[in-house]
Amino acid sequence: MPAIDKPDSQLTAVKWRFPSVHPEGRKYVLIAGFATLLTYSILSHFLGWLLVGVTVWTAAFFRDPVRTTPADPKLVVAPADGLVTMITRVGPPTELAEAGMAGEFTRVSIFMSVFDVHINRSPIAGRIRKIAYVPGKFLNADLDKASEDNERQHFLVERDDGVMIGFTQIAGLVARRILAFVREGDTVSAGERIGLIRFGSRVDVYLPAGTGSQVLLGQRCIAGETVLGTLGLDPGLSGVSQ
């Protein structure tokens, strides 16, 4: 019987690997590890073992797993890991409206608990047209008013065809620092790492008119992989939690 040729994609296997710790978090892991060692050696073995758990959690919080982003320019991918807590129609944030973002948008809010990966990624490929940091409060990031009251950082990414996608990092109850890895004018690819929030927070994504959400309330997203929407398509999805 003749051999049947198969596409290379069917012959290639991907192996699981332990996620690395992002450079931003390595100093915190070292501090936690050093405190654990001192406590175990000088104060108490019991407390030392408790701090081992804290050290492991710190390393896990700053984990930076590899993600595979679908290569389709029409797709808008999730910028954050977490739970979809709100989907609503809104106008653009003031800071992004001043940069040329206009009209009505579908805002998809993704809440990150302290157990989620906190590396944020660009939802589309394009040029960083605007980054705007806004100081504010540290309310529960799950509240709707957190998008206007909390410390936050807006990003506006513009594609080559002029389509713009805005998204916002929002601090939460225990988040005390929002970081950006990119600058205005930088070119990014879809799924590229663009920032980090410490420690528990939310990311809002603004889908333009005519583009509906392809995720549902209560659904979990994976940054750089989960498709939030397809530009120009509104599937009108509904779902059941079970």
3 state SS of 137: strand
Report the alpha-carbon distance of residue 157 to residue 149 in Å, rounded: 23
Nearest CA among 233, 91, 98, 74 for reference residue 159: 74
Q: Are 141 and 202 in contact (CB under 8 A)?
A: yes
201 catalytic? Reply is yes
- Name residues whose C-beta falls within 8 Å of residue 64's C-beta, 6 or more positions apart in sequence: 19, 20, 21, 22, 117, 119, 193
Three-class secondary structure of residue 140 per DSSP: coil
Find out whether the peptide bond into 61 is cis, omega within 30 degrees of 0.
Answer: no
Could you say which of 122, 147, 201, 213 is catalytic? 201
- Residues recognised as catalytic: 201
